[in-house]
Structure 1
Amino acid sequence: MSKKGILLVNLGTPDSPATADVRRYLDQFLMDERVIDIPKLNRTLLVKGIIVPFRSPKTAKLYKEIWNEDGSPLLFYSRVQAKMLQERLGDEYHVELAMRYQNPSIASALANLKAGLVESIQVIPMFPQYASASTGSVMQLVMELVSKWPTVPPISFINSFHDNELMIKVFAENARKHHVESYDHVLFSFHGLPERQLLKCDHTGSYCLKNADCCQTLNDTNKFCYSAQGHDTARLIAQELNLSKDQYTVCFQSRLGKEPWVQPYTTDVLKKLAAEGKKRLLVFSPAFVADCLETLYEITVEYHEEFKALGGEHVQLVESLNDSPVFIEALAGMVK
């Protein structure tokens, strides 16, 4: 019986927390023309001459803090999600997992689907909100690789699932475990992007960043905007938890370089809330479907310590979707 191929793709992780493996990961990641979208010569000089040599040892130390007996948490949970989805979908489907950077590679996963004689391939980039640097990069590489096949099967892509009802319910339920009402404020901290990448998504050239509220609601102009989709995700989770607008803030973490990135920055929001006397913060990171370095270390450790130094008491991470059966139902719904 012919099967339908499903390709789940997450961002990636080093093969180990060793500096050499982290260096290879960062090199492949940051040399992607969609991640650092500047001319190739400038990107090469910046990445290979400055960022990777200096950042690799520091990043390796951070990975060692979150690495456990199962290895990389991101890869571990991604494998669990792929296994659970395969079991949920049954024998009519062939599910493969890939990472955009490092292993298992997209090329190897596509080769497995090809060898499995699938009749079609559906690609699900595991990023709830669309961004050129994540979902767009996955789409581009898949199309480049498959375009070289003598026979190209029907291929489809999930562009985003920022408003998926079941995903929203999982995030909300994870928050309830921490007794949301016991916190002074809630943060929705998304991974950051340079502002120039948002501007490129505005095909009109006259809407993006022209006013402070351009991302607050989705419309035809910003429907593919990462920030606007992020605000929509936050609004839906807040609605599920009955949070008013003054009870939560949308912000962005993980900047690189000196040019403007999407704002407000999470670090600035922490300072503002501490100055207002807030003591306990509950933090979502809804750009990720599995806990990783950005959640397990940047939020749980760095932001917690930073907030305490400012006079706060506690920063609590809301766990990601990880091995939630309800999230697997959400994926199955996208497939079917």
Structure 2
Amino acid sequence: MLNMGGPSTVSETHAFLKNLFSDGDLIPLPFQSFLAPWIAKRRTPQIEQQYADIGGGSPILRWTETQGEGLVALLDELHPATAPHKSYVAFRYAHPLADETARRMKEDRVKDAIAFTQYPQYSCSTTGSSLNDIYRKSKSGMFSGINWSVIDRWGTHPGFVEAVSQNIEVALQKFPEEKRSDVVLLFSAHSLPMSVVNRGDPYVLEVSATVAAVMDRLGHTNPYRLVWQSQVGPSAWMGPQTRDALKGLARLGKMRAVLVPIAFTSDHIETLYELDLEYGKEARELGMEVHRAESLNGSPVFIRALADIVAQHLKDGDAGAPPTSVQMGLRCPGCSNATCAQQKSFFARGGSV
């Protein structure tokens, strides 16, 4: 189960930031080995305070482990031919990192593994970076002897769409019934630099497809917009930014909204601090009534969806399907990352170095 992760305690924040800013797949920087530690050191006090404000660390590991345990319990019933199943977590920037997970898998003598992204929509900066990491670790022998397949995107899976829709419906119940149909649904996803979007990264398209599927499920009962959060640095990013959208709605007289985290499946700093504390406070100061749809976390509907996704992947493999999707094999038209090409070829061969 692949994700970016987050520091479980405040004291782990600096290491998390250093790993994050050192990732050239996510944030390409000149002189990265020098700049990344410097930026991490500068940002650590502010981010430490944010993690303290949400309870002393990120809950993303706890929720990912909960989801994994529920997933494999269902999977043993849905696809008994490959049971017993076991879930592992491999975070990109926080414990457990891929090398720690590789050691555990070797101890368990794992022979067949699925790299299952926990980002519903694919981006080279997120899923791509995690897969590149597994490829590099495999080249060094850490994952030797393992046959790989990949679940690389699932943003329109009916179970995922249903789980998100149910949480939106719960949030809408917090508004007076006579005002409910006027509430604006703001689907908020982590933004991307326009340099990444313009080279052909599919993330924006895939997030849009998720939003369209959710609105179809909801019957288009409410007006909605897709907005973007978590911009870092001065360069151009995908917009509009979530906070700017809230200000714009207030200016237009739209004073009620539901914030929907649409690219995050578990609570972490972007939901608990940025959406809840930061944007929530700004919305109240604008006189708005804003509620957030809960993250999927321990949702039984969502965990069932994860199990269904993996079960179908295994059934497709039994029927002779290749180890990766057709879409995963296509590089961005503007891609210049040689590792990306090597990684795609590696997984297309089932993990043969």
State TM-score, norm by structure 2. 0.80
The aligned counterpart of 1:289 is 265
Instruction: Look up the SS of the partner of 2:187 in the other structure.
Output: strand
Q: Structure 1: how far apart are the matches of 2:214 and 2:187?
A: 9
CA distance in 2, matches of 1:157, 1:147: 17
1:240 to 204, 217, 222: 217
Query: How many pairs does the alignment contain?
Result: 298
The Cα offsets for residues 180-203 of structure 1, whole Å up to 9 and x where unpaired, read as: 636621100100110111122x2x
The DSSP-based 3-state class of the residue aligned with 2:211 is helix
1:230 aligns to 2:229 (yes or no) = no
Alpha-carbon displacement from aligned partner over 1:186-243 (angstroms, at most 9, x marks no partner): 100100110111122x2xxxxxxxxxxxxxxxxxxxxx51111111111111111122
Give the number of the structure whose residues are more often helix, by fraction.
2
Alignment correspondent of 2:122: 130
Counterpart in 1 of 2:279?
Answer: 303
* Corresponding residue number in structure 1 for 2:45: 57
Query: Aligned partner of 2:310: which letter?
Result: V
Give the deviation of 1:153 after TM superposition.
2.5
Partner of 1:195: 194
Letter matched to residue 163 of structure 2? V
The Cα RMSD (Å) is 1.9
1:325 counterpart = 2:325: no
Give the stretch that moved more between structures: 325-334 or 191-200. 325-334
Matched, 1:48 2:37: yes
Q: Confirm or deny: 8 A CA contact 2:276 2:292 kept in the other structure.
A: yes
- Cα deviation for residue 142 of structure 1 reads 0.8
Is contact 1:146–1:152 with CA below 8 Å preserved after alignment?
Answer: no
User: Which residue type is aligned with residue 48 of structure 1?
Assistant: P
Q: Give the C-alpha shift of residue 119 in structure 1.
A: 2.8
Q: What is the CA–CA distance in structure 1 between the aligned matches of 2:159 and 2:195, rounded to whole Å?
A: 32
Q: Which moved more, 1:174-183 or 1:230-239?
A: 174-183
Partner of 1:211: none
Given that 2:3 and 2:127 are in contact with CA atoms closer than 8 Å, whether structure 1 keeps it comes out as: no
- TM-score when scaled to structure 1? 0.84
Name the SS of the counterpart of 2:114 in structure 1.
strand
SS in structure 2 at match of 1:178: helix
| Higher strand content, 1 or 2 | 1
Following superposition, the deviation at residue 45 of structure 1 comes to: 4.5
What is the one-letter code of the residue matched to 1:199?
Answer: N
Letter in 2 for 1:65: D
Structure-2 residue corresponding to 1:273:
249
- Out of 127, 141, 147, the residue aligned to residue 154 of structure 1 is 147
* Residues 229-284 of structure 1: per-residue CA shift (max 9 Å, x gap): 1111111111111226x700101001111110011111221111010111121011
In 1, distance between residues paired with 2:103 and 2:182? Answer: 48
Q: Which runs of structure 2 are paired with 1:1-336 in the superposition (5 Å)?
A: 8-18=1-11, 21-39=12-30, 41=31, 43-49=32-38, 51-67=39-55, 72-90=58-76, 91-149=83-141, 151-179=144-172, 181=180, 184-200=183-199, 202=200, 225-243=202-220, 247-309=223-285, 311-336=286-311
Matches of 2:144 and 2:58, distance apart in 1: 35
Give the letter aligned to residue 54 of structure 2: I
What is the aligned-residue identity percentage? 29
CA deviation vs aligned residue, 1:1-30 (integer Å, no higher than 9, x gap): xxxxxxx12211114113xx2111101011
Q: Distance in 1 between matches of 2:33 and 2:238?
A: 24
Match for 1:29: what amino acid? L
Conserved? CA contact 1:187–1:282, under 8 Å = yes
Once the two structures are TM-superposed, the CA of residue 151 in structure 1 deviates from its matched residue by: 4.4
For the residue of structure 2 that corresponds to 1:187, the secondary structure is: strand
Gaps (5+ residues) in structure 1?
1-7, 203-223
Q: Distance in 2 between matches of 1:179 and 1:271?
A: 20
CA–CA distance in structure 1, aligned partners of residues 288 and 243 of structure 2: 15
The residue type equivalent to 2:205 in the other structure is A
- Secondary structure of the residue aligned to 1:132 is coil
Aligned-partner Cα distance in 1 for 2:112–2:166? 35
Q: Secondary structure at the match of 2:126?
A: helix
Residues 166 and 314 of structure 1, relative CA distance in 2, 3 Å threshold: same
